[in-house]
Amino acid sequence: MLRLGRREFDAHEPVIMAIVNRTPDSFYDQGATFRDEPALARVEQAVAEGAAIIDIGGVKAGPGEEVSAAEEARRTVGFVAEVRKRFPDVVISVDTWRHDVGEAVCEAGADVLNDAWGGVDPKLAEVAARYGAGLVCTHAGGAEPRTRPHRVTYDDVMADILRVTVGLAERAVELGVPRESVMIDPGHDFGKNTRHSLEATRRLEEMVDTGWPVLVSLSNKDFVGETLDRPVKERVIGTLATTAVSAWLGAQVYRVHEVTETKQVLDMVATIAGHRAPAVARRGLA
């Protein structure tokens, strides 16, 4: 059982986490949800399309203009409070590596802290424990926030992913984060080249076998683009193919830009796997 905010999800229930970037320079939407009105419209649309979690980020993952903790909080805290007011049942996640921002968004109503940079600020898990919030424990290969990998190597990339993510998850529980609210994330593209991310996908079942719910953030990432030689705006098909493979191997939470398309893929895989009945089954019965 995965428990986040007011929601509970069964072990085989796929969960969609919709991305809402409060940044003017996000790699995919180029600041489309930086202002409040379009960002709130994006939340409404994502919830209507089937997203259970809204993941709010105030700093783009890649290099760019420096964003202070105060500016990150300015972009996210008030927005979290407004989303909490308008959508009381939605799970609110905030993508941050900073404990002071984490504390501010939890005060405003956030349910999950999405630590995409692998525990670079160890106090973030302490904040999650103090507020009873969920925590995403990610493998970033020891990279500093907002840096790109350069000739990074691993003897065994999945062994390193397991060591780091399970270690972070166990520490979080020791600090007091509810075990049923902790997820692990292989961190596609974070501290990895394309071959590393492909291997992490191929061996995803090893993460699932740890018993921790697995979150994957695949949406339109560089490893998809390099695999197919496609620019950012032409990576949806590759993303959905990777999503289907990840679902078959047992990942549970999917951080995405395209909610409707992802939901159809996840429903199809769940039905093939026998975890979901077809929405309609008339063929051969009329």
The answer to whether 192 is a known catalytic residue is no
Q: What's the distance, Cα to Cα, between the start and end of the chain in Å?
A: 39
The answer to whether 221 is a known catalytic residue is yes
| Helices of type H across 50-184 | 69-86, 99-108, 123-131, 157-175
Q: Of residues 192, 255, 276, 283, which has the active-site annotation?
A: 255
Are the C-beta atoms of 69 and 121 separated by less than 8 Å? no
Q: Of residues 60, 98, 221, 235, which has the active-site annotation?
A: 221
In degrees, rounded to 5, the angle at the alpha carbon of residue 172 between the alpha carbons of residues 22 and 195 is: 65
SS3 assignment, position 194: helix
Q: Is 33 exposed, middle or buried (0-12, 13-18, 19+ CB in 10 A)?
A: buried
Catalytic residue numbers, as ranges: 221, 255
